[in-house]
A and B are shown apart, each in its own frame.
Chain A
């Protein structure tokens, strides 16, 4: 081992580790939040990751085709090819239908909010080791995406852009403790804000803090963004109140809410790049 520490290999290893340390430092202080190495590599990796997503989708389609054709063989051999063709068409139809439904929802949101500017993004990577379900989109600063841009699905708030590289961006979901959203409950109009804790997020809950001690908010109430702060537009749905509890201090209450959509099942989202009341800061 002595030879290693006195040789050229050690110097090369030390140089690489120092460079990576500097990259971490630059990333920590930069506005984009992305490592410079990741930013440069996003030019190569994002198209490759897009391709991998499409290959993965194509393979899952092929698998469905294969399994079904096997079972069909036993039953009606003469209709096998025709049936499989129809099955493939159905898969295509279902996919297109799903996409169309999503776009119809977005169109509705756009009609209700003509001030919104959207960029559509596809989820290309999911960090399964992240506690709060962060994911990466195939759009980045080249598409007008910036840090803190709100991410929505239909009229539901999903999260916020946490870091941007030229060709991709990473999104923190509402379950991330770094995100707190100013909100209100639509029936009572009571102001509140969302928070997240590891234990609650593991059970699929967000914490609704800032409620009065004897709050009129009850289970089933819908919580929307208030628009205060200028990061999130007003009236995006955050979730539904499931439970109201008293705070340990006894001076206030808090609620447990669940988002309307399952973030782990999303494949396409929209990033809002501009809206009325957006903060310039």
Chain B
């Protein structure tokens, strides 16, 4: 029984691993070649959905994996993604495990908040004074499109991850 449970967990986490890898490839290799008017932050909704279905430690580990991948494409941020994403997804896992219910609405809330991370880092790494004009243009051109596109992506991703968890969990088997 224990062995069977282990196999199901391994399959589930193998699928999550592939899902994060595919999201990374889409976000940084394939989609930038297309003429999309807004950047798609696929890794954020995918990791939100995954971490909401995992325990705290695994939430942190998935965040770490995504953060390290993100840093290879954006090492100009001094490896900050590998620190921020594990912390953010640890909090996501903790809140979902102990305080909030695991629903699509909760996932939307986390996704909307975490989609702002790249824009906040962008402002942090922008040389010069932080003016209200700069902030307004960043919110208009970066934050709002990032939140909207991430929420749209979250819809299929959240239900896909939920289905995977239902299919490959011990209770179901």
Q: Using Cβ atoms and an 8 Å threshold, which residues of chain A touch B98?
A: 1, 4
Q: Using Cβ atoms and an 8 Å threshold, which residues of chain B touch A28?
A: 78
Q: Which residues of A contact B (CB under 8 A)?
A: 1, 4, 9, 12-13, 16-17, 20-21, 23-24, 27-28, 33-38, 41-42, 45, 49, 52-53, 56, 60, 124-131, 134, 136, 162-163, 165, 168, 170, 172, 177-178, 197-199, 202, 264
Q: Which residues of B contact A (CB under 8 A)?
A: 25, 27-33, 39-41, 55-57, 60-61, 64, 67-69, 71-76, 78-80, 82-83, 86-87, 90, 94, 97-99, 118-119, 122, 126-128, 133-134, 137-138, 141-142, 146
Q: Using Cβ atoms and an 8 Å threshold, which residues of chain A touch B57?
A: 9, 12-13
Query: Which of A20, A172, A178, A202 is close to B83, meaning CB atoms less than 8 Å apart?
Result: A20
CB distance from B52 to the nearest CB of A (A): 16
- The number of A-B residue pairs with CB atoms under 8 Å apart is 145
CB pair B82 A20 closer than 8 Å: yes
CB distance from B87 to the nearest CB of A (A): 6
Q: Using Cβ atoms and an 8 Å threshold, which residues of chain B touch A165?
A: 75
| Interface residues of chain B: helix, strand, loop or mixed (majority) | helix
Q: Using Cβ atoms and an 8 Å threshold, which residues of chain A touch B56?
A: 4, 9, 13
CB pair A126 B73 closer than 8 Å: yes
Q: Which 5 A-B pairs have the closest CB atoms?
A: A35-B79, A128-B39, A129-B118, A126-B32, A125-B73
Q: Using Cβ atoms and an 8 Å threshold, which residues of chain A touch B71?
A: 35, 37-38
CB pair B133 A199 closer than 8 Å: yes
Given contacts A38-B82, A52-B25, 20 further A-B contacts (CB under 8 A): A13-B60, A17-B90, A23-B79, A35-B79, A38-B71, A38-B79, A41-B68, A52-B29, A125-B29, A126-B29, A126-B73, A129-B39, A129-B146, A130-B74, A131-B138, A131-B142, A134-B74, A134-B76, A163-B76, A199-B134
CB pair A17 B83 closer than 8 Å: yes
CB pair B128 A125 closer than 8 Å: no
Query: Which of B32, B68, B90 is close to A13, meaning CB atoms less than 8 Å apart?
Result: B90
CB distance from A147 to the nearest CB of B (A): 11
CB distance from A172 to the nearest CB of B (A): 7
CB pair A16 B64 closer than 8 Å: yes
Q: Using Cβ atoms and an 8 Å threshold, which residues of chain B touch A127?
A: 28, 73-74, 76
